[in-house]
Amino acid sequence: MGKKTARKLARTDGRVHTLFPDGDGRLPPGEPAHGQRYVRRVRAKSDNQERLLDALAESSVVLALGPAGTGKTFLAVARAVEALEEGAVQRLILCRPAVEAGETLGFLPGDLEAKLAPYLRPIYDALSDRLGGRRLKQLLSDDTIEIAPVAFMRGRTLSNAFILVDEAQNCTYGQLKLLLTRLGPGSTLVIAGDPEQSDLLPGMSGLSEVAHRLEPLGGVAIIRLTAEDVVRHPLVAEMLSVL
């Protein structure tokens, strides 16, 4: 066994740590972050999350609706990375409306990716958990992972791609219709959001209406998660029940 391999095993004790074991899937305290590794697949922690994972594997269009902390974005990103690693898709396209949550941040400097980075931080965090920071930067640099604002999607046909629209409650009906009609051959489109937490003016969010209209279609999966599926701090579910 070579010196590099021996050092790597010494750092991790030869273990592979899951993302959703009994805790959050990170290395135990005291083990260095550079030795961090994960298994390929995640495990659901509730029946609804299991239904969501099944839908992500089987359906071309999935709407994941539910409150914060239910794993909508994380599970979608995990499935997207699996599809990319397995060769089922050629690229990942991440889309999130740039809507401020009750605050005005003002002008944001930088190129398009830099301007959108604050809004896409939760997706970046989930991707980093699955891929590692170095590989994520590489896939972003060669456009295997693409950041696509809602406004720039018109006229495109997205083939052989996994498209994730996060925070979709901040999209209007017209924007969601635009995104849904971008779907090309060999692609999966996931729309994730909480209809109860829109930052748009009352009546402007199109998420609930789109879900209602698509629900009768056999090729579309609508997964509704609840406070019982929250995997953050136990108080989150309790607070959601009273807020």
pLDDT per residue, tens digit, the chain (243 aa), is 444 444 333 333 333 333 343 334 443 333 334 334 444 567 888 999 999 999 999 999 999 999 988 999 999 999 999 999 999 999 999 988 866 544 444 555 666 667 667 777 878 888 988 888 899 999 999 999 998 778 788 888 999 999 999 999 999 999 999 999 999 999 999 999 999 988 888 889 999 999 999 999 988 999 999 988 887 776 776 787 787
Q: Can you tell me the distance from the alpha carbon of 19 to that of 24, in angstroms, rounded to the nearest whole number? A: 6
CATH for 45-242, options being 3.40.50.300, 2.60.120.1130, 3.40.640.10, 3.10.150.10: 3.40.50.300
Tokens of 175: 């924007």
Q: Given this model, what pLDDT does residue 211 score?
A: 96
Q: Can you tell me the distance from the alpha carbon of 189 to that of 80, in angstroms, rounded to the nearest whole number? A: 10
For the chain, domain boundaries: 1-39, 45-242
Using H for helix, E for strand and C for coil, what is the string for 23-75? CCCCCCCCCCHHHCCECCCCCCCCHHHHHHHHHHHHCCEEEEECCCCCCHHHH
Q: Given this model, what pLDDT does residue 69 score?
A: 87
Q: Can you tell me the distance from the alpha carbon of 231 to that of 82, in angstroms, rounded to the nearest whole number? A: 21
Q: Given this model, what pLDDT does residue 152 score?
A: 80
Q: Given this model, what pLDDT does residue 109 score?
A: 64
Q: Given this model, what pLDDT does residue 41 score?
A: 63
Q: Can you tell me the distance from the alpha carbon of 50 to that of 208, in angstroms, rounded to the nearest whole number? A: 22
195 Cβ contact list (under 8 Å, min separation 6): 65, 169, 205, 207, 208, 211
